[in-house]
Structure 1
């Protein structure tokens, strides 16, 4: 009996050896490198670690076979300057380099009708794949406007909204008078669309909205702002800015809000602790709201390595972002490395396939964590979808008080230094 069992065991082992270990499923990746205006960029070198470097073709395309997900993608945007996407699973990523050559854009112009002389008229483009905003002072009952619309892809459908208000002595909204829309607008790059007119209808009233900011210890108020947003929560769009204070005296501020069911009031607050440490929070509330509290997140804690440490090349970098964030890490030294990840740990990749070296000089590293509710919610695949808003545009717009979503946050760490052994 023992001999039979032994024979069966030997046979089973032989069969397993013949079959080999379980195979890991792999995928083909076909992606596109685009610039900060969404145009494809040829001649860019791209690497998935463990593969060979490939170069984008005339359409900015690249491909890799036999990739296991999740994977890391490294893009050389110029000599000694790299962008890393860590933790991708999508097979069709669109990844960005900081090149602003060319653009997808369209010009739109028209009249806003039934305005009042001296009032301010804000005009906003609402679209899944286009951004545009302007404001003008009304000369009379008809106010002409023109704006250059940034398209995130060659064609987009959109609507144009207009909002009118009077201003107080500080240039902020006092009383809202009217609003209107021009719907079903089709935009294509290079278009010059005229007669996109908007007829205003009266707004029933205006009221105070008091905002209290809960600011982390060690930070001070730096910007307080508000605006009116007509876009849905899952649509990119700039709010029509109606209030801004870049030198706030305290943690509480009061804005004027229209009584307007078709829109939301977006409240924004930023606090800083020096030149590089900041926390930003914004949210949309019903225009009928009279009070709201914005709680800003604590700065991101860098866990390791410690500031000024000397580390091995394969040492992990760890940090503690808020839940649901995408993190941008910025490494600066003999070369520059920008990393996007939904995780909280990173190891410097081997860049020798590009012929690059980290060198011997000290580096600094810093983290910026961000979330745009309804649009970018801790999923790197969302950031690399076709027709996406460039990450640096998202961050810069948010930093300067013009976030592109209805609600979200952005928070940084202090910069730390390190050197490689």
Structure 2
């Protein structure tokens, strides 16, 4: 194991990685922007370096500043967290060229999975089910219209280089497609520097289920169960749980086998997630994308499988075997994660501000991974995530009840907060039954 680790991220995920690094006796180094100087992850690190102003392009995405920080502190490895540079293949290559250990999949795997069209084609060749869609970018509007007619409406219009639920639009007919195509293409060019667009079948009633994979140092790829991620707003997740209440033992076996094939197809190493869409009526599932990094929702898998996924990431990066027996993975109980965001609970619009009250819940089966404490200020420069509330129980029913109690105990004042939404969700009959889909939030509004 290397003896020093620079965490190229901020907030709760930086704090989370630092916690495991320090437990393992690895010196933890934080980088931060000027706006984040007072946040807990900075003070909890063994060493911290300011890498620039609030603008993430000048700080958390500033490759040279991060590498300078690594050199000046003697860091041996870099963990990118999620977001920012975590799925940037050029950054991964640059880190390794600098003689540092990259805690993540190889740059070639990141590149292969970073383009949704290329990823779809690779997965289809590997025998992983993919939804009907284009095998190359829709070069112009006429090509998109032709493709949609062949696939059948409604269709999803996607930025090929997008991720995290960004750069998507749904078209129910040709008129809507003409609007969505131009909108998505312009957004993709602005946000990702790549205007390539793909057209894919849209499923009006669908569940979002993903599989956690881990590519081991010896070359094997293992799957650590599935997570249900269907509670979403604007195609972005709000709640995740494991195991999925929609997945039977037979379907789980198919999901996990497909995810392992997906990882093996690109020689995957380290932690990653294979995201799929599940038709709850037919029990068919289709590959959506692979996230070549640690997911926000990784704690629910940690609870169910009894592993520390950050520790496993570090061990893979160091060439060490996992702490668990890959041939004897046994899930236990149920876990649910709620993303506590600085946003209003009705329209989900960001609401930054100074935190005047911050009281976290506690108790059996309750964990809070937070990025803030009372006295900190939530700025408008970054994602609105304040904390992740993770609860577990022997059954889903027990986990839901613990979540209700924990939400009632959680106090946040100052910025806007979506805790009232979760209080409503946890009383919702559809959610409580486990028989819900990606439209649940819109039906609640």
**TM-score of the superposition, structure 2-length normalised?**
0.26
TM-score (norm 1): 0.27
More helix by share: 2
Looking at CA atoms only, which structure, 1 or 2, has the larger radius of gyration? Answer: 1
